Structure 1
Amino acid sequence: MLRTTQRRITLLRSHLYTNHRSYSTTQHSKMTAVTPTATFTLNNGHTIPAVGLGTWQSKPGEVGEAVLAAIDAGYTHIDGAYVYGNEKEIGEALKKAFTSGKIKRENLFYTSKLWNTFHQPSKVSEAITKTLSDLQLDYLDLYLIHWPVSFQPGSDLFPKDKDGKVITDPTDIVDTWKELEKLVDAGKVRSIGVSNADVATLKKVIDNARIKPVINQVELHPYLPQPALLEYAKKENVLLTAYSPLGSGKDHSPLKEQVIVDIAKKHGKDPGQILLSWAVQRGTVVIPKSVKAERIASNRKIEKLSEEEIAQINGIKERVRIVDPKEFWGLDLFKGDTADK
């Protein structure tokens, strides 16, 4: 099953990569100064480090060392997911970090995500048990519904019919959410949230929640700033976490925008640090991914930008959604709105 899962994830990767005003630098959740140790306070009182290490696409044999390098560099926030297929290795790395005294469990913020094949209420407990076992943790700091779509349960994480179309399941996200609330009650997770939710989906969860989501993790960068979603989330005091905060890293990337390059030179920073600083300053958590120790350390070095610099970055007009399920699943989860007018 592991080989099949990794093959599916490799396929997915190839498809993906061949409460204020939307652009305000004021944060809706209380945030400390824009520094490498910046934190946000969630709507339930827990805090989350503003910069975390993303582990998507981090290969077995690399991800454990990346996690240890991140902790050595001062990170206290690691973002993972069951579907990434690397949480066992992350668990071993965390065990080393705890036993060596590099970090205490209570000082680490770990996020994982419920995969689409576990949305049926009877499957949620199975999923969290597996994740906690792989990570060798007693609880998660944050557990997210990875995508607002349910897949047919089973060992195949990307089930498809004979025509190659993904097989969905009719489970409603509200029913899944109620099971996540029970995990909070049981002490298995401290905070819960969603991922890849548009305004309509986020509103649906909030309107039916006993425990309000604290986070919505979505694609965010200057090519996809999602102002309408950010404005709604701020109004509801739900924090956004930005995945792919540096864009695709390909030739056509925010990293190569002249305005970003110029601001980076002015600050003595690299373009990636400017993009991450911009994201945190507009009130979002960032989870840049890398397996290189030098880059991991570099990504954490954010600093405050001027209002003029923020406005210049906000002025970038290009609009690109990198992670679009229309392309790899044939599902239009964002209703065709890639520009987010």
Structure 2
Amino acid sequence: MSAVPEQTFASGYKIPCVGLGTWKAKPEEVGAAVKSTVRLGYHHLDCALVYGNEKEIGKAIKECIDEGLVKREDLFITTKENAGLFPMTEDGLTDVIDIDYTETWTTMQDLVNQGLCRSIGVSNFNSKQIQRLIDLGLKHPISCNQVEISPYFSNEKLLQFCKSKDIGVVAHSPLGSADRQW
């Protein structure tokens, strides 16, 4: 197999341009998909706790490492912050009324300082939200913005804005989204 092209983030780390998205992947099938993908040489895995399949993905990644197929440092694993990280009300609902995404960004930058992640980015942010983060004064660059880009939704203005700010763009739903009405 030929090498998968990569792009370099402003953080200096490289991300493979093609990866395996695990959103809506069935928990009883996603582990096999991860192992097949890694065997084929793809090392970018897109995950999130909210997808409900991270445990199986983690097990598959561990098996790939244990089998010597890949080293952990060769994998680029994307995850997302989840509502479970927010405070809860007494009735068990997420209490995010007083939480601003700029506070979350500050916390994420601390994770980079602690060596718990290499790069941080945003998902589905528009140009005004990104500019608000930039205006805070960044300790670490916004590495990427994961947004929908497909033949049906080019998102050209946002792509140009991100490019002007040296923010990589990671496309989700590159073949189109079933959630979008056409």
SS across alignment from 1:216: strand
Equivalent residue letter for 2:45: I
1:201 maps to which of 108, 117, 129: 129
Q: How does 1:31-110 map to 2 (within 5 A)?
A: 37-110=4-77
Deviations 1:207-266 (A, max 9, x none): 212212101101111211111111110000001111011013x6xxxxxxxxxxxxxxxx
Indicate if the aligned counterparts of 2:86 and 2:96 stay in contact, CA closer than 8 A. no
1:170 deviates by 2.3
Counterpart in the other structure of 1:221: 150
TM-score by length of 2: 0.90
Cα separation, partners in 2 of 1:228 and 1:155, compared to 1, 3 Å = farther
1:187 maps to which of 115, 129, 133: 115
1:154 deviates by 8.3
Whole-angstrom distance in 2 between the partners of 1:233 and 1:116: 26
Deviations 1:12-64 (A, max 9, x none): xxxxxxxxxxxxxxxxxxxxxxx751000110111000000000001111111
SS across alignment from 1:62: helix
Indicate if the aligned counterparts of 1:36 and 1:51 stay in contact, CA closer than 8 A. no
Equivalent residue letter for 1:220: I
Cα separation, partners in 2 of 1:174 and 1:168, compared to 1, 3 Å = closer
Whole-angstrom distance in 2 between the partners of 1:97 and 1:243: 25
Counterpart in the other structure of 1:134: none
Q: Is 1:322 aligned to residue 180 of structure 2? A: yes
- Report which of the two structures shows the higher radius of gyration computed on alpha carbons: 1
Counterpart in the other structure of 2:160: 231
Indicate if the aligned counterparts of 1:41 and 1:47 stay in contact, CA closer than 8 A. yes
Gap runs ≥5 in structure 2? none
Whole-angstrom distance in 2 between the partners of 1:155 and 1:44: 40
SS across alignment from 2:142: coil
Deviations 1:132-165 (A, max 9, x none): xxxxxxxxxxxxxxxxxxxx56896xx48xxxxx
Instruction: Note the aligned Cα RMSD (angstroms).
Output: 2.2
Say how many residue pairs are matched.
Answer: 179
Cα separation, partners in 2 of 1:58 and 1:99, compared to 1, 3 Å = same
Equivalent residue letter for 1:51: V
Deviations 1:260-284 (A, max 9, x none): xxxxxxxxxxxxxxxxxxxxxxxxx
Q: Is 1:170 aligned to residue 137 of structure 2? A: no
Deviations 1:175-206 (A, max 9, x none): 11100011001110011011010111111112
TM-score by length of 1: 0.49
Cα separation, partners in 2 of 1:51 and 1:93, compared to 1, 3 Å = same
Counterpart in the other structure of 2:169: 240
Gap runs ≥5 in structure 1? 1-34, 121-151, 161-166, 251-320, 324-341
Cα separation, partners in 2 of 1:74 and 1:173, compared to 1, 3 Å = same
Whole-angstrom distance in 2 between the partners of 1:84 and 1:90: 11
